[in-house]
Amino acid sequence: MAFLKVVPLERALEIVNSFTLPLGTEEVKLSEALGRIVAEDIYSPIDIPPFDRATVDGYAVRAEDTFMASEANPIKLKVVGEIHAGEEPKLELKKGETVYISTGAMLPKNADAVIQFEDVERVGDEIIIYKPAYPGLGVMKKGVDISKGRLLVRKGERLGFKQTALLSAVGVERVRVFRKPKVAIISTGNEIVLPGSELKPGQIYDINGRALSDAVNELGGEGIFLGIARDDRESLKELIEEGVRVADIVVISGGASGGMRDLTASVIEELGEVKVHGIAIQPGKPTIIGEINGKPVFGLPGYPTSCLTNFTLLVVPLLLRALGREGKVRKVKARLKHKIFSVKGRRQFLPVKLEGGVAVPILKGSGAVTSFIDADGFIEIPETVESVDEGEEVEVTLFEGW
């Protein structure tokens, strides 16, 4: 076992990239597809609207019949019927004819315009028109909204309500999506309790379990929170074994460093193999990457901001790749709000808040939950750099919106 023998981040990422998750795809009903990641490009099978459609209540006409109409030269057309939404028009317009038509109804043959009823005078079975209509007036042409064959959603795109609405509009009922990667999450520590129980002296509420499970869910995976392992081998071993049974990936937070009660690495080693214990980054030095029964097992630091930073650096790319999303986390450029200092020889990831293109460093430390709650992402300060100046351009790796 490589016990706290630090490797460069690049080596850790190589190991992460060597994991394959044999996930595949599945078909789900559109009504259950929200939040899922699409596994293939989807094109529109039909035109929308599927027919030339009235956009107003009024009279469908042949525009050419009205070209000469004016206040001085009103034109009369004979009303030969009515067409309502949902009906298929049986008649076709002949010269000098019109039909009453409702909004959303299909235009009859030969009609190319609809004049709203407010603009005509109805007298018996005739209408009187005082100004000309032009072809297309009051009409939404077949296919102008969505044309048949148009790309609607791309492989790797996450389905939000706009995408599901678009698919519903063209009648797509089943969608092929990536199977959700299942990620078992375990918190560790005698001091950790779940919301709902009262805090006793020395105890704190769980942060990482909730944060990691819901980050996985937000990403399009399935976070399975297995609970809190106590600081004893059996408790941790039991939960890790359960994680390997029920999930594709196991993520444990806390107990990653080399302290007396930090058991994670030695329990992973007992059940499988520790591939990395220690990465040359701050926060995240005590991070563990292991493998049990061919499944990736991560041991992340207990400090909440360290935990989430390292989740973003190591686990998110693996999940994105499994979901056909190229495995890249999102980055944006910004200018640094004020000068910051780092320690030479330490590769640091510092949380920042984005305020209109300006990155404001958050200096509360990785033990504070609000360091990542307030942060939009983090910036990297290489080993060779001792300070970054105010106004310097920095690249921010985003914590969300993956």
Ligand X SMILES: Nc1nc2c(c(=O)[nH]1)N[C@H]1C(S)=C(S)[C@@H](COP(=O)(O)OP(=O)(O)OC[C@H]3O[C@@H](n4cnc5c(N)ncnc54)[C@H](O)[C@@H]3O)O[C@H]1N2
Binding region for ligand MOO (CB under 6 A): 282-286, 301, 303, 306, 366
User: What are the residues whose beta carbons fall under 8 Å from the beta carbon of 265, sequence distance 6 or more?
Assistant: 1, 3, 256, 274, 277, 288, 290, 299
- Distance between terminal CA atoms of the chain? 33
| 309 touching ligand X, by CB under 6 A | no
Residue closer to ligand X by CB (options 54, 207) is: 207
| 317 touching ligand X, by CB under 6 A | no
**Measured CA angle at 247 (ends 244, 253), to 5 deg:** 75
User: 82 pairs with which residues across the strands?
Assistant: 100
Q: Which of ligand X, ligand MOO, none has residue 207 at its interface (CB below 5 to 8 Å by kind)?
A: ligand X
Binding pattern for the stretch 153-192 against ligand X, x by CB under 6 A and - elsewhere: ----------------------------------xxx-xx
Question: Which residue is listed with tokens 């992402």?
Answer: 377
Q: Which of ligand X, ligand MOO, none has residue 302 at its interface (CB below 5 to 8 Å by kind)?
A: ligand X
Task: Give the residue nearest to ligand MOO (CB).
Answer: 283
Residue closer to ligand X by CB (options 369, 394) is: 369
Q: How far apart are CA 97 and CA 241, in angstroms?
A: 79
| 279 touching ligand X, by CB under 6 A | no
Q: CB 216 → ligand X: shortest distance, Å? A: 15
Residue closer to ligand MOO by CB (options 259, 391) is: 259
Is the alpha carbon torsion for 320, 216, 183, 1 positive or negative?
positive
Q: How far apart are CA 304 and CA 287, in angstroms?
A: 13
For the chain, how many helices (H) and strands (E)?
Answer: 8, 27
Determine which residue in the list 213, 257, 342, 348 makes contact with ligand X, applying CB under 6 A. 257
Q: CB 186 → ligand MOO: shortest distance, Å? A: 17
Q: How many CB atoms lie within 10 A of CB 265?
A: 25
Residue closer to ligand MOO by CB (options 75, 215) is: 215
Residue closer to ligand MOO by CB (options 140, 279) is: 279
**Measured CA angle at 330 (ends 324, 332), to 5 deg:** 155
**Pairing status of strand 222-229 against strand 182-188:** parallel
Range in contact with ligand X (rule: CB under 6 A) among 79-87, 164-172, 217-225, 248-256:
248-256
User: 75 pairs with which residues across the strands?
Assistant: 129
Question: Which residue is listed with tokens 């939960």?
Answer: 239
The closest of 392, 149, 185 to 308, measured between CA atoms, is 185
| 303 touching ligand X, by CB under 6 A | yes
Residue closer to ligand MOO by CB (options 213, 306) is: 306
Residue closer to ligand X by CB (options 154, 261) is: 261
Q: How far apart are CA 221 and CA 198, in angstroms?
A: 31
Range in contact with ligand X (rule: CB under 6 A) among 95-103, 126-134, 149-157, 302-310:
302-310
Q: CB 246 → ligand MOO: shortest distance, Å? A: 27
Size, binding site for ligand X by CB under 6 A: 25
Residue closer to ligand X by CB (options 64, 380) is: 380
Cβ–Cβ under 8 Å, residues 247 and 319: no
Q: Which of ligand X, ligand MOO, none has residue 194 at its interface (CB below 5 to 8 Å by kind)?
A: none
| 254 touching ligand X, by CB under 6 A | yes
In this structure, the dihedral spanned by the alpha carbons of residues 288, 293, 295 and 296, taken in order and rounded to 10 degrees, is: 10
Backbone torsions φ then ψ of 244, nearest 5 degrees:
-65, -35
Binding pattern for the stretch 195-224 against ligand X, x by CB under 6 A and - elsewhere: ---------x-xxxx---------------
Residue closer to ligand X by CB (options 52, 262) is: 262
| Residue 149: alpha-carbon gap to chain centroid | 24
Helix H or strand E encompassing 222 = strand 222-229
Q: Which of ligand MOO, ligand X, none has residue 223 at its interface (CB below 5 to 8 Å by kind)?
A: none
Cβ–Cβ under 8 Å, residues 256 and 300: yes
Residue closer to ligand X by CB (options 126, 191) is: 191
Q: CB 349 → ligand MOO: shortest distance, Å? A: 9
User: What are the residues whose beta carbons fall under 8 Å from the beta carbon of 18, sequence distance 6 or more?
Assistant: none
Residues in 347-386 that interact with ligand X by CB under 6 A:
366
What does the binding site for ligand X look like in residue numbers (CB under 6 A)? 187-189, 191-192, 204, 206-209, 253-257, 259, 262, 283, 286, 301-304, 306, 366
